[in-house]
Chains A and B, each alone.
Chain A
Amino acid sequence: MKKAGLKLGISGIVTALFFWLLSVPLGPAPPLGKFWNPQTGFWANTQNVKRTDHKISVASEALSDSVTVFFDQHQIPHIFASNNHDLYFTQGYITARDRLWQMELQTHAAAGRLSEILGSRTLQYDRYQRHIGMNYAAEQALEKLMAHPKTAEAVEAYAAGVNAWIDQLDPSEYPLEYKFLDYRPETWTPLKTALLLKNMTYTLAGSNSDLRMSNTRAFFGDSFIKKVLDISPPLNDPIIPESKDWNFESQAPEKPQHSFTPAIVDTVAPFQPDPNNGSNNWAVSGSKTANGYPILANDPHLNMTLPSIWYSLQLHGPDQNVMGVSLPGAPAVIIGYNENIAWGTTNVGADVWDWYEITFRDSTFSHYNYDGEWHPTTKRVEKIKVKGESTVTDTVVYTHHGPVVQTSGDEPMRSNIPKYHAMQWIAHEKSNELRYFLDINKADNYDDYRQALQHYESPAQNWVFADSSNIALTVTGKYPLKWDEQGRFIGDGSNPSYDWQGWIPFDQIPHVKNPDRGFVSSANQDPAGDSYPYYLDDDFAPYERGRRINEQLASMEDITPKEMQKLQMDLFSYHAKSILPTLLQHVKTDTLSNIHKKAVTELTEWKYENKGELIAPSLFNAWWDELYEAIWSDEYQQTDIPMEWPSRDQVVTFLHNNSSSKWYDNINTPEKETLKQLINRSFNQAILSLQNKHGDWGDSWKWGYINDTDIRHVGRLPGLGRENVFTGGGGESVNAIRGSHGPSWRMVVQLGPEIKGWGIYPGGQSGNPGSKYYDNMIDEWRDGELFPLWFMRQPPTATDSLHYTITLN
């Protein structure tokens, strides 16, 4: 009895301990019992989307009529509804079914709420999101969204649809990532849609180099900026043809007479969007195409993730029939076409984020100096919930410019007067981009397009357009009226002439319709050349992609959609063509080893195509990187402060124009280096670094591997991405795949009475890592194949390519 009691005691305690162990999270891993049991754990996610014909009943008042959703073989939903409310409701419902976790994560990240699910390791990230005012921006947007009946209806119906999906979910049906991170979805709100849209402004118009430019001016002086950072490469080819006559008077304000020298007391390094964010779009007029109607093409380059940023669908309602890609979390189609028109986008890198030096009265930050007087600040309290810890309260100070991003930190103050930086950013404006999307979805012609664009403010985009007889492009956005170079450096926050002083009128923003050359195009380059009367920015994408596209389009006749798809896959590198011959000329061939000789041969025979199968692009890229470092890093590394580096095409121009320069000398060595020495040294260094990183010369040196394309999980969970996709391309090629960045959606549309579209993105429609539709389009995308999109004019009859049908009522 005694012995038995002891056994019971031990067994009972061990059992209790074991069950406890299975019920608690182990470090970052989810509770074992909850996650691994086959009934409700991850195994249940192998079957949580029904892909057969079925009917779904939603709450009685949710839909006013029944809605039919046809899924094609690519799992693209084609939604047929009899009114717009039902249409957007169903878009929300179906998008949530396929992408719920991604939708919520993206808006949590935008709002600075990641710590709620990930704990204190993301606290710094969340703080930054709060300090740049993302929630403030979204609240501003929401106000305007809800003030317009049509956009209010759309976001509310969409939210109701998402919530209808969430409400019927059993915990065993939660997407895998919820189970892994052990939390549950919350109610979707229109505010989240606003956050998502403002987050696009963050991704695409979060660029600002004021601090780096100010530091560079302070460290290297004005002449360096003039001689290097102001270089405009001769091959620049602006978006709007330079022949354009700007027949209006500039309303730009006058430049202050004395330029302000900022004190730069804090060194907050501003977020930089990935320099590879870019895109191509173009439209060719009917006079240049085989069937006499325009063709439009677009490929936006973004960070490529699984699930993809895009979700493809068709929306068919009483006043619209539109197809393309949507952003999970927002109603409507973002890039696509309808029965009459097509449209697409690339980013405009205009300077819409400026920093101001603010002088506060004292360290309470309650008042700041403006126009000779002390003005009160406002304060916004941000509460950041942290998983497993207590809530962190953060107070952000706002001036009339915008939030003061850093008011505490490690940097000691240099004087009694605290000086910090306030930011003014376009995202903080009340705007309603959704109104543009709803209108362009329904647009029939050029006038509708221009009308719709008036509601589009940020992030500024080159919206390209085509209908069956017109092509057009508008460098669309709300741009502050600035004097020349206003906002290039940190501004004087106390001086009203540094404020944004109104906006460039819509009619005066750069646009072009049916130009003589028969095409319009954009690749993020300088929008309008020097003759444009307003200052937009100094820093646009290098000329290479834009020039290549324009030259190709100019030389083409009788164009077919297939040829446009081929141009999207073009691998030519203008960068290599412009500088490689010069580099090779300087190589001292007499003293080369065998491997170096082999490299020179490869490069000499290279046709400047960034093909994955070749080794030459790897050699050239490594060589260029080493040379760039050798020229600039000795001087730039004299200080820790962040500075602005010259862009690729500026350096090429500099090398062409300066056969000798003090910048070629390595200041860390006693000898005086020449350009020839740098070129030879960096060539040796490049070979050495390829050997160190990738072993001996061989297949592993092929550009397809070195380009290093990983398509990672959007929440960076290991194992849920696709690693090592063998790709060609480069940041300077039209096919701009570089690392994990690249064409996140490729689309070609043939206009005319029989409008026809093709498209693909590197991912899959399903967000479930257990689905074969999670990453099924990556291989075809890599190979440059675009799927013909099934654009339904009416509900289809059953065919092989129809996968299944859902009816909601």
Chain B
Amino acid sequence: MLLALFIALTAWLLSLVFPWWSLAISGLVLGAILGKSGKHSFGYGFLGIGGLWLIQSMISHINNNGILTERVANIFSLPYPWLAIVMTVAIGGLAGALSSLTGYYCADVFLDNTDK
């Protein structure tokens, strides 16, 4: 859980200055330091970025009364507006999960061989 929280927090801070892909840095570094297993780092990596993007998009969605959510869903022919939020979470979550997983394996190979 700590892994998810740290990833979300650092990725959010990085995103204030750097482009969206800076979240990979959070995933790689924190996956390497805090990842306990492949499943663990993948899952909490997903939760970290997916959760961050969920909160951010929900704030936008609610503040805007869902007007833009519906319009964007229409552009992409999504049958329900909430699928736009699902899409956001899926993209962010997968990006977080994969970078965290890669970070964990990096640590596994290069740092030490003992189980964490």
Check B2 for interface membership: any CB of A closer than 8 A: no
Among residues of B, the one whose C-beta sits closest to the C-beta of A772 is B67
Query: Least Cβ distance of B100 to chain A in Å?
Result: 9
Binary interface encoding of chain A residues 32-44 relative to chain B, with 1 for a CB under 8 A from any of its CBs, else 0: 1110111111111
Question: In the complex, what residues of A have CB within 8 A of residue B87's CB?
Answer: 36
Check B114 for interface membership: any CB of A closer than 8 A: no
Query: Least Cβ distance of A718 to chain B in Å?
Result: 6
Question: In the complex, what residues of A have CB within 8 A of residue B94's CB?
Answer: 18
Q: Is the CB of B102 within 8 A of A46?
A: no
Within 8 A of A (CB), among B63-104: 63-65, 67-68, 71-77, 87-88, 91-92, 94-95, 98-99, 101-102
* Top 8 A-B pairs, shortest CB-CB distance: A719-B74, A770-B68, A38-B56, A46-B64, A37-B20, A8-B105, A15-B98, A43-B60
The number of chain B residues with a CB under 8 A from chain A is 39
Question: In the complex, what residues of A have CB within 8 A of residue B101's CB?
Answer: 11, 15
Q: Is the CB of A47 within 8 A of B102?
A: no
Q: How far is the CA of A32 from the CA of B89 in the complex (A)?
A: 12
Contact A11 B95, CB 8 Å, known A34-B20, A37-B20, A39-B56: no
Check A769 for interface membership: any CB of B closer than 8 A: yes
Q: Is the CB of A43 within 8 A of B75?
A: no
Q: Is the CB of B68 within 8 A of A42?
A: yes
Query: Least Cβ distance of B81 to chain A in Å?
Result: 11
Question: In the complex, what residues of B have CB within 8 A of residue A19's CB?
Answer: 21, 24, 95, 99
Binary interface encoding of chain A residues 529-540 relative to chain B, with 1 for a CB under 8 A from any of its CBs, else 0: 000000000000
Question: In the complex, what residues of B have CB within 8 A of residue A47's CB?
Answer: 60, 63-64
Q: Is the CB of A11 within 8 A of B68?
A: no
Q: Is the CB of A22 within 8 A of B95?
A: yes
Of listed B21, B56, B105, B106, residue having the most chain A CB within 10 A: B105
Set B19, B38, B56, B73: member contacting A719, Cβ < 8 A: B73
Q: Is the CB of A8 within 8 A of B56?
A: no
Q: How far is the CA of A771 from the CA of B71 in the complex (A)?
A: 11
Binary interface encoding of chain A residues 163-198 relative to chain B, with 1 for a CB under 8 A from any of its CBs, else 0: 000000000000010001000000000000000000
Query: Least Cβ distance of B116 to chain A in Å?
Result: 13
Question: In the complex, what residues of A have CB within 8 A of residue B99's CB?
Answer: 15, 19
Set B20, B21, B73, B75: member contacting A41, Cβ < 8 A: B20
Q: How far is the CA of A414 from the CA of B101 in the complex (A)?
A: 70
Within 8 A of B (CB), among A1-34: 1, 4-5, 7-8, 11-12, 14-15, 18-19, 22-23, 29, 32-34
Among residues of A, the one whose C-beta sits closest to the C-beta of B98 is A15
Q: How far is the CA of A37 from the CA of B91 in the complex (A)?
A: 8
Check A717 for interface membership: any CB of B closer than 8 A: yes
Q: Is the CB of A5 within 8 A of B71?
A: no
Q: Is the CB of B57 within 8 A of A4?
A: no
Of listed A12, A34, A46, residue having the most chain B CB within 10 A: A46
Q: How far is the CA of A14 from the CA of B38 in the complex (A)?
A: 14
Q: Is the CB of B105 within 8 A of A40?
A: no
Contact A39 B20, CB 8 Å, known A8-B105, A15-B101: yes
Question: In the complex, what residues of B have CB within 8 A of residue A11's CB?
Answer: 98, 101-102, 105
Contact A770 B67, CB 8 Å, known A33-B91, A46-B60: yes
Q: How far is the CA of A37 from the CA of B65 in the complex (A)?
A: 19
Question: In the complex, what residues of A have CB within 8 A of residue B92's CB?
Answer: 36-38
Query: Least Cβ distance of A374 to chain B in Å?
Result: 56
Q: Is the CB of B105 within 8 A of A38?
A: no
Q: Is the CB of B71 within 8 A of A719?
A: yes
Q: How far is the CA of A368 from the CA of B73 in the complex (A)?
A: 56
Contact A37 B53, CB 8 Å, known A718-B77, A769-B71, A770-B64: yes
Check A204 for interface membership: any CB of B closer than 8 A: no
Check A45 for interface membership: any CB of B closer than 8 A: yes
Q: Is the CB of B109 within 8 A of A8?
A: yes
Binary interface encoding of chain A residues 645-681 relative to chain B, with 1 for a CB under 8 A from any of its CBs, else 0: 0000000000000000000000000000000000000
Binary interface encoding of chain B residues 2-28 relative to chain A, with 1 for a CB under 8 A from any of its CBs, else 0: 000000000000011001110010000
